[in-house]
Structure 1
Amino acid sequence: FQTAPLLRTPPQSPLPDPDLNPDWYGEIWLKYPSTSMLVPMQYRYTFKARVEFSLVLNAAMLQTSTNESDNQAVRSGTGRIVETVEKLEAWYRTLPGPLLPSHIVFPSQLKLHGSPPLLLNQDELQTSLAKYRAYFETILRVHYLRHSFEYGNMMLAQFLAMLALLALTKLDFLTARDSSEPEVYSMDVGDTDPRAAKATLFIAQKGLSDQGRGYYLPKRLLEEALSRMTPSDSNVLQSFITIQQEGPEVTEERKLPA
């Protein structure tokens, strides 16, 4: 984590235009059980977008891995953040038609939209948090309905953990909120019905449970989120997913040095 990137400079030659050179990328065709027709993944667009996104992140990581003092990092940090955000927004604005939010279908396409573009204006940021939360939750719900959460994917596990914590935070807010206070929660979308937040939490927990079959971290995140739930909600959750608690012997064995 936070290791310096191995590649110090971007590739010298840009990737070919997917529309003009589709054969350079090739294609992946899928066959679903419900139809005999083959469905193209439009791999060329996704591959090019992922590479361009990685170039932005690689440049940002190179800037953070410099040997600057804390004071120097603070002074130059704002400019670097602004530069990175502008690059991400430019990347987002130039996504081709098949990768626009209204057209995405496949998991690889959905993951591209898991991290929404950032906003620099504080007022605009506050008013847009609910919108981006709605986008984020919608993408994960579509992923669940179309593809489930059962195949292993650590990036998906990270998104599910974020969704679970957001839902838990909303439930805490609704529980602690005074009835005389305005019904506004800047990090949420929708009304103040706790049942909606619980439904979101259960979907996220179901995903973490599926991911926990192959990865250790999602399993621990699931147990952490479970410990923050009310006993009644915890019982409902455990009625449709199996959560195996770690015994004391396993806990001690895991703590032993390799």
Structure 2
Amino acid sequence: MKRNYKGLRKQLGTNAEFVDLLKNLPYQDAQVALRSFRSGTDIASIVSHFKVGNILLEMAVSPETRFRYVFPYRSELPQDIMLDNPYLDSTIYESATLYSGGQFPTCAKNLNTTKAGNPSCSEHQKPYLHPFHATQVIDPLLSAVRPSSWTAVCSDDVLMRDLLAGFLRCEYQFTAAFQKDYFLEDMSCQQSEFCSQLLVNIVLAYSCAAILFNVFYNLCGLDEVGQRYITHAVDLAHKICLFDVSVTGLEKAGELQSQLQSWFTGLARPLRPRTIVLPGHFQLHMYYHHLILAMYEPLLETGANQPSLPLQMVTAARKYLQTLVRLYYLRHGFDAMNLFIVIPLMLVGAYCIDSINEQTPEPSLEALRSTLILVAKGLAGQRRSHYLANALFRVVRGRMRPREAALLRYAADANEEEDVVEPPMAQAVRSHWPVSVVRNLRDVDSYTLTNLVESYAQLNVEEVDAASEGDDCFQ
């Protein structure tokens, strides 16, 4: 009797699983299971088939490796950057808008259809579907070097090659002050023309040392100290008349813009707005639009009867710069170190902060908030990698109104706990860098990083807490 009881209990459990399958399976699969049962197939076999069969099927399917980041505050793009924007007709934007409701962009469809038949095409599409920080440096020269023969800091060649690979993937893209191949060739061959112990530890040669030491100090918010390392380079620039005074004004700006536009339209196909994908590509385009802002924004102060061209150029450059920041985030994110990205982030963030006030219409306010929260999130991610981003993040957060600061804490999870243990920023930052475009040279001091840190970085956040406690904007 006990044996029969156990058998009935087991059968009841199997029957219950079968009923659950019929309830939960898709309609077509449930019909298949029901037809199998009515044809005389054992219930236990049917249950086992669907349970084990699904596992085998899932194991046979390649995992989804495509990835995109999601905007922290509002998922949609602001309307004012949607019209007449070549960057929104790009492959990277099509890839970044994947993949809801079965709607795949052109490149994603091409990737699926050519994966088996055309591997080279598939490889070509991969950068548009994966963030840059997921890549690895593959270089035979790097694999052959033995850094331990050049430095006494460490004897682990594998570790130091990994460190060099990380440098070449990240910092080198922005501060390429030496030629990588010559450096690695001499390191592997024990030659000293382009490599030395000082090179391996810090820099390539004296002329590059001035640049790199200055860059490193800049990243620590200490460009006042790093200035001495570039003084000699500036003297050389004076000797070749690089800093000779030139005529400024709308006519001169037009000449420079014409030359830049000619260069921009003549870019190689992989560097054009339609096909950019790598961080270095974004850096090139961001710097181009930064130059346009630097040329034309000071001309907006020339009076009420000024021509409309400066305003048109500034408006377009801001739109494109904001678009590039958003596309960069969608594809690559802001957590991986990128020395250059903090510059466009500050340009965009400063404009948003200056544009937000009590008279800002609600649609424009939400668009500005969306961009500002994204900028703050980017600086918060970069602050884990270098001190300059930490200072800039605090300045941006300090300049926010309590309502926007509360939104930042909610949307970007920017906690204040680190502020308790960090030293006062104003004692550590000594920088003359103006963090945004200065329209009037008489106002340059108010834009320098040191003065901004003194004014905003130590701002008490208690009012932000009070605003967030009584805020109903999250409901």
TM over 0.5: yes
Structure 2 unpaired stretches of 5+: 1-63, 67-110, 116-121, 128-172, 178-232, 300-306, 431-475
Q: Higher helix fraction: Structure 1 or Structure 2?
A: 2
Percent identical: 21
Q: 1:110 aligns with which of 257, 262, 282?
A: 282
Give 1:158's aligned residue.
343
Deviation, 1:103, is 2.2
The residue type paired with residue 370 of structure 2 is: A
Are the structure 2 counterparts of residues 171 and 249 from structure 1 closer, same or farther at C-alpha, using a change threshold of 3 Å?
closer
Q: How many residues align?
A: 192
Aligned CA distance change for structure 1 residues 38 and 102 (closer, same or farther; 3 Å): closer
Amino acid at match of 1:162: L
Specify the alignment match of 1:241 in structure 2.
414
Q: Residues 223-245 of structure 1, C-alpha deviation per residue, up to 9 Å, x if partnerless?
A: 11111112122122123223432
Between the aligned partners of 1:63 and 1:80, the Cα distance in structure 2 is: 26
For residues 197 and 64 of structure 1, what CA distance do their matches in structure 2 show?
A: 43
Displacement of 1:129 after TM fit?
A: 1.7
* Compared CA separation, residues 170 and 192, structure 1 to 2 (3 A): farther
Are 1:211 and 1:218, in contact at CA under 8 Å, matched by a contact in 2?
yes
**Displacement after TM superposition at 1:106 (Å):** 2.2
The answer on 1:38 being equivalent to 2:123 is yes
Cα distance between partner residues in 1 of 2:407 and 2:271? 37
Which residue of structure 2 lines up, in the alignment, with residue 227 of structure 1?
Answer: 398
8 Å CA contact 1:104–1:110 kept in 2: the answer is yes
Unaligned runs of 5+ in 1: 1-31, 42-49, 55-60, 178-182, 184-190
CA distance, structure 1, for counterparts of residue 313 and residue 406 of structure 2:
35
The 5 Å alignment of 1:121-132 reads 123-132=308-317
Q: Distance in 1 between matches of 2:393 and 2:429?
A: 19
TM-score by length of 1: 0.60
Which protein is bigger by CA-based radius of gyration? 2
Does residue 168 in structure 1 map to residue 340 in structure 2? no
Secondary structure of 2:341's counterpart equals helix
Give yes or no for the alignment of 1:217 onto 2:388: yes
Does the Cα contact within 8 Å between 1:202 and 1:237 map onto a contact in 2? yes
The equivalent residue for 2:322 is 137
For the structure 1 residues 140 and 255, does the alpha-carbon distance in structure 2 shift closer, same or farther, using more than 3 Å as the test?
A: closer
Query: 8 Å contact 1:161–1:218 — kept in the other structure?
Result: no
Shift in Å, 1:199: 0.6
Question: Residues 373 and 408 of structure 2 are in contact (CA less than 8 Å); yes or no, is this contact kept in structure 1?
Answer: yes
Q: 1:130–1:83: structure 2 CA closer, same or farther, 3 Å change rule?
A: closer
Asked if the contact 2:391–2:425 (Cα under 8 Å) also holds between the matched residues in 1, the reply is no
Q: 1:127 Cα shift? A: 1.8
CA contact (8 A) 2:337 2:385 kept: yes
Take 2:419 and 2:340, find their aligned partners in 1: how far apart are those partners?
24
- Aligned pairs for 1:16-31 within 5 A: none
Change (3 A) 1:215 1:114: same
Q: Is residue 99 of structure 1 aligned with residue 271 of structure 2?
A: yes
Structure 2 contact 376–393 (Cα < 8 Å) conserved? yes
Letter in 2 for 1:245: D
Give the TM-score normalised by the residue count of structure 2: 0.35
Quote the Cα distance in structure 1 between the aligned partners of 2:399 and 2:429: 24
Aligned-residue RMSD, C-alpha: 4.1
